[in-house]
Structure 1
Amino acid sequence: MRHLALTAAALGAVASPAAAASGPFFSLHNTNFVVLLAFLLFIAVLIYFKVPTLLAGMLDKRAEGIQKELDEARALREEAQSLLASYERKAREVQDQADRIVAHAREDAKAQAEQAKVDLQKSIERRLAAAEEQIESAQDDAVREVRERAIAVAVEAARQVMAQQMSAEQRSKLIDESIETVGQKLH
């Protein structure tokens, strides 16, 4: 470590910036010339070991890789666009189908509503006819009942009138005639 410090001190005394700029340019004591020689030697070593070719090859490979990735991305984008177009077309088809189903359902509902109106009208007509028949039947029953009642009242009135005006002998004769008429009708 001590040896290194002494060497650095010696070099510091010899290679100061003020000393580097003085003197002839093509001297090893001129730092600008030494740096130029080192740089040219570095470039020569790089060219000798074909580093620029290697770097160019690496850059070409990287460019090819990037180009492949771009091509893949472009292909994926085109595929995605075709899928999107396909899905949009399918969505339109599904929407059209849904619209047709809704329109058909509305038509069916209208038709069913019309049919329900017709059925309701027929049902009302049947019930009205049944009600009219019941009314006619009730009227016929009432007329029949009134006639029967009138007949019963007339028979009773006739019996009472006859009972008051007929004698016992006429009643016996009338009963015998009635028995004879009933006997003839039964035989």
Structure 2
Amino acid sequence: MEFLTELLADGYTWYTLSFLIFAAIIIKVASPIITSGLDSRIEDIKKDLAEAENLRVEAQEMLAQYQRKHRDAVQESEKIIKTARDNAEQFKAQAEADLDEIMARREQQLESRLQRMEQNAISEIQAYAADLAMNAATQIIIDKLDKKTNSKLVGQSIENIEANIH
């Protein structure tokens, strides 16, 4: 009992006891407040986690959608490139065919022109040769004929011309 009396007489004991009573009251009073605060915080964290999960799912859906769009865009660009290449090859083939046709036409025109030039040259040479032969024949006739025979031939020529004119 003496121990108990000493214990009750000591200030430290009362201080400890009052602190424990105060702590028990605080825990009793503050426990529902702290619990409701913690519960509220837990609910906020759960909401944040649910929202984060929803955002993650939405982000995955958007990523999948953008990947599909990207894949479609790549396929479309490949189609466009293929079409452009096909069109370019068709244009090239058409241009080559047109060039071949133009070259053939030009070649034919040149051959035709050369033939005309050749014919003109032949005609000119023949005309020149005929003129030369006529001049030579005339000169030979003049040199070989006397005046009497010359007058007779001129007369016959005039008669032939008159006969041909009428």
Q: Same fold (TM over 0.5)?
A: yes
Deviations 1:81-110 (A, max 9, x none): 111111111010000011111111111222
Q: Taking structure 2 as the reference length, what is the TM-score of the superposition?
A: 0.87
In the TM superposition, residue 131 of structure 1 has moved relative to its aligned partner by 1.6
Aligned residue in 2 for 1:116: 95
**For residues 45 and 77 of structure 1, do their structure 2 counterparts lie closer, same or farther at Cα, with a shift above 3 Å needed?**
closer
Aligned-residue sequence identity (percent) comes to 28
**For residues 38 and 53 of structure 1, do their structure 2 counterparts lie closer, same or farther at Cα, with a shift above 3 Å needed?**
same
Deviations 1:128-185 (A, max 9, x none): 2112112211211111111111101110111011101222222222223323333333
In the TM superposition, residue 23 of structure 1 has moved relative to its aligned partner by 5.1
Comparing both structures, which one devotes a greater share of its residues to helix? Answer: 2
Greater gyration radius: 1
Aligned residue in 1 for 2:24: 43
Distance in 2 between residues matched to 1:52 and 1:178, nearest whole Å? 158
Q: Taking structure 1 as the reference length, what is the TM-score of the superposition?
A: 0.78
Q: Which runs of 5+ in 1 are unaligned?
A: 1-21
Aligned residue in 2 for 1:173: 152
- Greater RCO between the two (CA within 8 Å, min separation 6)? 1
Match of 2:140 among 153, 161, 164: 161
Q: Which runs of 5+ in 2 are unaligned?
A: none
Q: How many residues align?
A: 164
Aligned residue in 2 for 1:90: 69
Note the 1:1-187 alignment, pairs <5 A: 24=4, 26-29=7-10, 31-32=12-13, 34-47=15-28, 50-187=29-166
CA contact (8 A) 2:7 2:13 kept: no
Amino acid at match of 1:100: K
Cα RMSD, aligned residues only: 2.1
**For residues 45 and 122 of structure 1, do their structure 2 counterparts lie closer, same or farther at Cα, with a shift above 3 Å needed?**
closer
CA contact (8 A) 1:23 1:30 kept: no
CA contact (8 A) 1:46 1:52 kept: yes
In the TM superposition, residue 126 of structure 1 has moved relative to its aligned partner by 1.3
Distance in 2 between residues matched to 1:38 and 1:105, nearest whole Å? 89
